Amino acid sequence: MDILNTFKIGASALKAQSLRLNTISSNLANVETTSTPEGGPYKKQSTYFRTKSLSFQDHLNNQVSQSVKGVEVSKILEDKTPPRKVYDPSHPDAAEDGYVEMPNISVLEEMVDMMSATRSYQANVTSIKMAKRMALKALDIGK
């Protein structure tokens, strides 16, 4: 495998994990949002990945084997679970019965997802650094 493909694969993973972290941050920022422009409480967003082939030009140049694939975000979907109902009759968005519809976000789950995304991001940074070190060592051999 070409060393540049390692960088391309790592870069695709960094981009995907960065978008995942942004989605998680948005969920955490809106954990108390009870009113959105669409109406109702904020709905949790979830990020989904899929494998991504490298560029068409790389395939034309036969630089990539069929098993080499990066990653990309395939979609970001709203969670379909119903909102939590919290009794707070003094809240401005409370219904007549005193219940407020709150976002369907668990801070604990979001923090676990954030830690997972951060670890994945760090692992990909490490793989890129190792590929860089290998390339530099190969250049040192030629001296």
What's the pTM value of the predicted model, to 2 decimals?
0.82
Give phi and psi for 89, each to the nearest 5.
-65, -20
Domain locations in the chain as residue ranges: 3-80+107-141
What is the three-class DSSP state of 79? coil
Q: What is the pLDDT of residue 29?
A: 96
Structure confidence by residue, pLDDT tens digits, 3-17: 888 888 899 999 999
* 8 A C-beta contact, residue 91 and residue 34: yes
Amino acid at site 63 = Q
